[in-house]
Amino acid sequence: MTEAIRVPTERGVLTIKRDQLMSLHTTFRIGGPADFLTRAGSEPELLAAIDWAERHDLPVTVIGGGSNLLVGDRGIRGLVILARTPGSALDGHVDLAVEGERARLTVPAQAPISWLGHFTASRGWAGLEWAAGLPGVVGGAVVNNAGAHGGEMADHLTSVELLDLAERRVTRWSREQLQARYRYTVLKFEPRPRRWVVLRATFELPPGEREELTARAASYAQWRRQAQPSGACAGSVFTNPPGTYAGYLIEQAGLKGRQVGGVRVSELHGNFFINTGNATAADVRALIALIQEEVFRRFGIELVPEIEEIGEA
């Protein structure tokens, strides 16, 4: 393995590694090698990594927590930036201001979405407690308009700050510009490598009863541990069709436990695929196609994948 590249930054040194398997950096544990890979836990590190890639004429792929992703078996060309940081490292990077009866909260894109749910609930601000227990980070959750238990990111999001890689400038988008709807924003369906990178998000939150909110956040996190499988999976594979649930349709079609290669439909929840240890992206695509075909044959409903495919097949 070639020695790691060390890039000086304002606050230290950024380490860039060659030929890193993406299967080690996604929750699905699937994916070939990235040409180059680095971790950026702060905005200065993110900008330093992007500058380095620009100097070497490399495309940039930014991912957050690595959930909701299927990386191709041939990996990703250029530089992959893992933009994530633990909640314990966010002191001084979160701006919470009370304005009358509401709170304005600005958080970095690298913040864990589960931490955000617990953080806001513990301070008596409502609207994001549904996120407790979810994988991923704020930036990815904004791009995907993630949600659960009747809530979603767009409900209380007021704006996002984006880095425009084409013009190398920071711009602010309103919630309306994102055109957010169920598991959709215009950012999500921009071809990769994307032009825009989420830097931070701002929410406006109503007050709530602190004890009630923290209890609700804890119950959501506990529910996920019991109702959804653990292990190597990417989260929900399909979006829910109008008026029903993808997992229910898959279960009714008798497809729980169905396996292709190294990937299997979870026996616990039909809308989760489990990597049994040696799954490939090709296996996942084949199982998606099988599920779609059988559900459509049985119910006349076309299931739409929620997970995003990136990299080379």
Give me the active site residues, please.
Answer: 183, 236, 306
DSSP characters for 157-184?
A: EEEEEEEETTTTEEEEEEHHHHT-BTTB
- In this structure, the chain runs to a length of 313
Specify the residue for token string 């510009």.
177
* Angle value at C-alpha 265, between 261 and 267, nearest 5 degrees: 130
Give 152's strand partners.
147
Pairing of strands 33-40, 76-83: parallel
Q: What are phi and psi of 189, to 5 degrees?
A: -100, 15
Q: How far apart are CA 13 and CA 8, in angstroms?
A: 4
